[in-house]
Amino acid sequence: MSNDAKIELIPIPTRILTDKDDIIDTVERYTKDKIGPDDVISVAESVVAITQGRAVRPEDLKITKVAKFCCRFIPDYGSLATPHGMQSLMDVEGKWRVAGALFAGFLGKIVGLKGLFYKWGGEQTALIDDVTGTMPPFDKHIVYGPKDPDKVVEQLKARLGCFGGLIADVNDLKRSRVVGQSKGLNGLMAANLLIDNPFGNASQKTPIVIIKNFRQYQEQNS
């Protein structure tokens, strides 16, 4: 392929995916005729997690006083700013670990250190999506981050025969973060191409995006 090959983002619409779906089989079904050896397959983080059964309804959580207190210190736009969001984190990472990390983060900010809460609060601290964070009907659920994301993308790469695989956490606030990436892929470079959120939210149902000609793009910009 010529060196002037251009990047193209191709959102792939699907039906609503649930924990009854296998993410590898599903992505192959929707993309096998559209993806080539120089392309990257990218999948929305929340959808991978949903197919793994990593979602819980808020009403099924037992809210503790500690969660009610701690959530007050999270900015309103954060997924952990509600008692349910905070409780879901404490259920998987430990109540006192989360509370301690939040306190350490508060002290850290005083001396100019940022991000200690997300560093010490556990893996799921930055991954949980509170209600309204994903497509219906799971907009009524709290969705955890996916399990073994690097393993999932390697399986996708092998199954599809493409250049690489990526799981990304992207939203409409111009945030695009790598959750899992295959070996040899510059995940940060790929995630930056998704900054305008081609996955969409809510009713768009385009949880898969193919990044065409990414191999050449990465080689030219490395």
pLDDT for the residue 201: 55
Q: Is the pLDDT of residue 141 over 90?
A: no
Q: State both tokens at 89.
A: 């984190």
Band the pLDDT of 93: cuts 50, 70, 90.
Answer: very high
Separation CA 14–CA 213 (nearest Å): 22
Report, as an integer, the average pLDDT of 44-71: 93
Q: Which of 67-71, 85-89, 198-202 has the lowest mean pLDDT?
A: 198-202
Residue ranges per structural domain of the chain: 6-52+144-219, 56-132
Choice between 4 and 8, residue whose per-residue pLDDT is larger: 8
Of residues 38, 17, 56, the one with CA closest to residue 164: 38
CB neighbour list of residue 63: distance below 8 Å, 6 or more residues apart: 83, 84, 87
In this predicted structure, what is the pLDDT of residue 197? 84
- 220 compared with 2, residue with greater pLDDT: 220
pLDDT band for position 2 (50/70/90)? Answer: very low
Separation of alpha carbons 30 and 32, rounded Å: 6
pLDDT, tens digit, 9 for 90 and up, residues 106-117 = 999 999 998 899
Is 70 exceeded by the pLDDT of residue 132?
no
pLDDT of 182: 97
Q: 76 versus 163: which is more confidently predicted?
A: 163
pLDDT in the model for residue 126: 85
pLDDT band, very low/low/confident/very high, at 1 (cuts 50, 70, 90)? very low
Q: Residue 5: which pLDDT band, with cuts at 50, 70 and 90?
A: low
Q: Is residue 121 over pLDDT 50?
A: yes
User: Higher pLDDT residue, 15 or 140?
Assistant: 15
What pLDDT score does 202 carry? 54
CA angle at 71 for the pair 200 and 53, rounded to the nearest 5°: 50
**Which CATH code is given to the segment(s) 6-52+144-219?**
3.30.1330.100
